[in-house]
Structure 1
């Protein structure tokens, strides 16, 4: 074939190929080359054919071809490599060299090499790699910038909000209280903007992290209702929460991110609703180990124009984007919600009628948490109050239905009336039929006759002396509360009600008449540490070590913990904290992360080494940081700290965390 005298036909065939091609025999002789090979090497065909060496080619090319020949002929197989080879002009080109083994009819062996110029592809790959590395470096710089910005912004914000909380507890006149409240509201509004911008930047930098831990859906809903309920009450609108009994309560996911989504959606609904209600409902079901959740936030607010529905989830977009818009905001909240939902493989959407209201819907599928026993929890039971009859009077039908649903968990059958006058008639009719109601769940703000007047009218009638009255009010006022309690009501509750609060309150009102039974559909309590003691109750002579380099922040912590009963020791850097720790026993340590001389994490490591060497049993260490990135908080928990508090510090959260971990120290010592 190759050596059978048909070289002319072979040469013509090879010359049709655009790539350089050469054929060599086992004895290293050049058998054939095409014109493309001659142009590339700068060698004429006559200088190559029949020669048994690599004379005429550069040394590096000669060595490359020789090595390739030996490898192919010895293995009788194909080989390929990418080599940098100088062309006839002396320019280095990246060539892909594909060598294959061939044998003719006489048994003679040959090497066939085809060269392909891949210089441009190589250059593009190198440019792409350089660009990728630059992007990675930029992302790293952006992440570091975000972390530093978070720290630099939150540290002074901790001073502003913290000291305003401290100032609140001093002797202030009415005008000064109003000024402090304005400072707090302005600081909280600024913090919301800061959080939105930081979250948006984290998303843009690809640093959005989603945790996966067991948590209680009802607890998250209660947290959101407690946080935003006062804002709704101040506007005179109802914040109503409802969670279906078919929804598994204990699921696995990122409770913080779900709380953030709900807070954003509910906060928006309250902001854009002037009258009526905001309803937060969690429906769904559990199937094959997964909870399929449909979370809706429904309001009776201003609504969204139809042409804006597609853009409300875009960055910096709002339904009213004019500079004189009434409601303000960054335009990032819904965009962040969409990114969070997407990161959890869920969906988010909105329907709205302009001027009537909006409904935002979030669909998520989360694993159901294992039903393993929680050793620190008692078996969940509910009182059997099935012998009681209740009447609910509330001008909002949703509230009536939700109250009836909560009462039904305790076996209580209930009726409802939206008109207080009709409710009074119903109470009288039931009494006259000798089927009196045992319980009245009464709203405060209603048209025509408010709840306080209804309560007074009822208590003026001896026939209703035994009727228990539980007031559910959207007005959280000491004056209103005292007025109701003077009428002889059993309890005064403030909307929105947390899960189970109504049933537990009714149980207390009828204490001694109930029968205990297991709940038919119990909601397990949220997994976590032992419950905290009330704020203000603490260990006598308990010591807390506070490592904080910022003098203002030292005063903030001192002010927030002033009435807690602890003896406070301060250190201005990590080295001082380590020395004080070695000299004294502490109930716990509040450790700032960023400090001079020795930072908080380094100090924590030294303290843990001291403890493990026999110096002392483990002491709870709470990291206090202005770094709000989720991955940073998670990293802190792997480096010796027990919990993380983010600046600016909230008094209630600080006290709850301090006393919860301090109690562990006491129990361990005991």
Structure 2
């Protein structure tokens, strides 16, 4: 009996254990199944997540590429618009300057002054719009240079009082002794802000002085420069102040009948000051006046480490003859700017040689042939940057004179590349006569870095200058074969001969340009045809040198004396220049 009882107990225990194992196995199988399904879902989620990440990454990359393309397009558009607007505007203002130099009649001078004022006003609006566009496109850069705030404020004062609207205004400057003589900053941008403050003070006040103040204070070991411009004019109400520094915003001016400018001046000033980590604002009482101010952190420059005994750049030290006879190669494709620059050069007494594009400039250039190169940036066939690069590659640095770039482009956009190819200095179009003259004087004096008209990349030593060759010929007989001159004078008289020579000059000048253009295009048949006509006309009027050069071009003999067609044509041009001077005299 006992044994049977034990058997039953053992069997029941076995059945319980068996059931428990079955239940555990079933639970394990269920959990395994759940884990398998979970792993499947996890793998699916992982795969989906990976795909989503790839798709999102592709979307972000595409968006970035589109943003970069849009930014590049905006920069190209900005550069193009800058060039296309500034080039004709520069020509317009330059021609007005030339007319103003020669005009004596008061009535015409007044009209020219009105035209110049309108042109300068247009130039300011264009510059404001382009500056605003540069900021929007992210290509607005700041320079770091030595800034003399006293000289800067004085230059703003002189410019403001010389302008028609500011001639009768009193502008007072007060610069604290605490302000350092020199500090590091962007002089051009600081001048732009101060000039805008002063311009607005003149515009929005009728009388009373305009006060420009500059002070410094210490802020946790940092030197803070504060510049204020105070006027006693119409003032600004609270609503006007809240909108004052917004884009395309102007406040009403009871002193003028219409708004002036594009409403971007103060908005640009705010972006400039904020861009260098400063503050800008205004304090104003309606009907009593306003004080515009900005504060920026500055770093004082040690005067002992600055060239010049007074801590400034040394003055221009010109030779006794000044810049007379300086040999300059002008590379410019725009016909208006060609005329403008050549006229400028003539007035300065320079010996100018013209190249219509970069490739011609490269062909004309040779060591010790020129003392200076004025290189336009945007030209067909070969631009100024490429031409400069080729010049630097072909000749050693000591064989190359200073190369000054003339550009209507946004300077910030080309400055880096200009420095890389070897441009010594950038001059921004439109460039006034006096500014160009000053830049050339600095080159002649071997003091290229002292000019403030643009970024400087290096300085060049003084070079020997040539006296103008046009002084060698005093009359037609000096250019002509004596027997031909005698026969023509007997037949037509001196006046008749001068008339023939004038027609020859005009026709030959046109033909030599056609010849050069045809040579550039590889149209050698046209080259020979033009050379044949030039040869016949030169022989008929007794100009043996020009006849011989034309003959060599016609018969393709220029290569025998290591003279290219373009070099021979340039000699022809030089002789035509002599003839032109004689006929004008």
TM normalised by structure 2 equals: 0.68
**Within 5 A, what are the aligned runs for 1:259-658?**
259-285=191-217, 290-320=222-252, 326-375=258-307, 377-378=308-309, 380=310, 524-525=311-312, 528=313, 530-532=314-316, 538-582=322-366, 585-612=369-396, 617-658=399-440
Matched, 1:210 2:210: no
Deviation for aligned residue 1:533: 5.6
Matched, 1:132 2:60: no
Matched, 1:220 2:152: yes
* Match of residue 164, structure 1, among 71, 83, 96: 96
Go from structure 1 to structure 2 and tell me whether the alpha carbon gap of 1:354 and 1:599 turns closer, same or farther (over 3 Å shift). same
Go from structure 1 to structure 2 and tell me whether the alpha carbon gap of 1:550 and 1:535 turns closer, same or farther (over 3 Å shift). farther
Tell me the residue number matched to 1:110: none
Contact in 2 for aligned 1:620/1:642 (Cα 8 Å): yes
**Structure 2 unaligned regions, length at least 5:** 1-20, 447-459, 466-585
Tell me the residue number matched to 2:36: 33
In structure 1, C-alpha distance between the alignment counterparts of 2:138 and 2:177, rounded to whole Å: 37
Contact in 2 for aligned 1:538/1:566 (Cα 8 Å): no
Deviation for aligned residue 1:122: 4.5
In structure 1, C-alpha distance between the alignment counterparts of 2:445 and 2:318, rounded to whole Å: 12
Go from structure 1 to structure 2 and tell me whether the alpha carbon gap of 1:172 and 1:572 turns closer, same or farther (over 3 Å shift). same
Deviation for aligned residue 1:629: 3.5
Deviation for aligned residue 1:8: 5.8
Tell me the residue number matched to 2:442: 660
Deviation for aligned residue 1:208: 1.8
Greater Cα shift, 590-599 or 219-228: 219-228
Go from structure 1 to structure 2 and tell me whether the alpha carbon gap of 1:4 and 1:568 turns closer, same or farther (over 3 Å shift). farther
Query: C-alpha deviations, 1:594-629, integer Å up to 9, x for none?
Result: 11222111211222233318xx53311110001124
Query: C-alpha deviations, 1:89-143, integer Å up to 9, x for none?
Result: xxxxxx53xxxxxxxxxxxxxxxxxx77455455344323322221111111001
Deviation for aligned residue 1:232: 7.3
Deviation for aligned residue 1:216: 1.9
SS in 1 for 2:346: coil
In structure 2, C-alpha distance between the alignment counterparts of 1:584 and 1:302, rounded to whole Å: 61
Contact in 2 for aligned 1:573/1:596 (Cα 8 Å): yes
Contact in 2 for aligned 1:588/1:621 (Cα 8 Å): yes
SS in 2 for 1:309: helix
Go from structure 1 to structure 2 and tell me whether the alpha carbon gap of 1:134 and 1:325 turns closer, same or farther (over 3 Å shift). farther
* Match of residue 76, structure 2, among 125, 129, 144: 144
Contact in 1 for aligned 2:149/2:182 (Cα 8 Å): yes
Tell me the residue number matched to 2:512: none
Higher helix share: 2
Tell me the residue number matched to 1:245: 177
**Structure 1 unaligned regions, length at least 5:** 16-20, 22-31, 42-84, 88-94, 97-114, 381-523
TM normalised by structure 1 equals: 0.59
Deviation for aligned residue 1:344: 0.2
Tell me the residue number matched to 1:477: none
Deviation for aligned residue 1:367: 1.6
Contact in 1 for aligned 2:189/2:272 (Cα 8 Å): yes
Tell me the residue number matched to 2:453: none
Deviation for aligned residue 1:565: 1.8
SS in 2 for 1:33: helix
* Match of residue 199, structure 1, among 110, 120, 131: 131
Greater Cα shift, 172-181 or 575-584: 575-584
Contact in 1 for aligned 2:443/2:462 (Cα 8 Å): no
Deviation for aligned residue 1:339: 0.6
Contact in 2 for aligned 1:269/1:278 (Cα 8 Å): yes
SS in 2 for 1:310: helix
SS in 2 for 1:563: helix
Higher strand share: 1
SS in 2 for 1:208: coil
SS in 2 for 1:241: strand
Go from structure 1 to structure 2 and tell me whether the alpha carbon gap of 1:645 and 1:14 turns closer, same or farther (over 3 Å shift). farther
Go from structure 1 to structure 2 and tell me whether the alpha carbon gap of 1:558 and 1:535 turns closer, same or farther (over 3 Å shift). farther
Go from structure 1 to structure 2 and tell me whether the alpha carbon gap of 1:617 and 1:653 turns closer, same or farther (over 3 Å shift). same
When the two chains are superposed, the root-mean-square deviation of aligned CA atoms in Å is: 3.1
Go from structure 1 to structure 2 and tell me whether the alpha carbon gap of 1:540 and 1:235 turns closer, same or farther (over 3 Å shift). closer
Equivalent residues, number: 431
Deviation for aligned residue 1:648: 0.7
In structure 2, C-alpha distance between the alignment counterparts of 1:643 and 1:318, rounded to whole Å: 37
In structure 2, C-alpha distance between the alignment counterparts of 1:156 and 1:626, rounded to whole Å: 10
Contact in 2 for aligned 1:284/1:292 (Cα 8 Å): yes
Contact in 1 for aligned 2:345/2:351 (Cα 8 Å): no
In structure 1, C-alpha distance between the alignment counterparts of 2:211 and 2:32, rounded to whole Å: 79
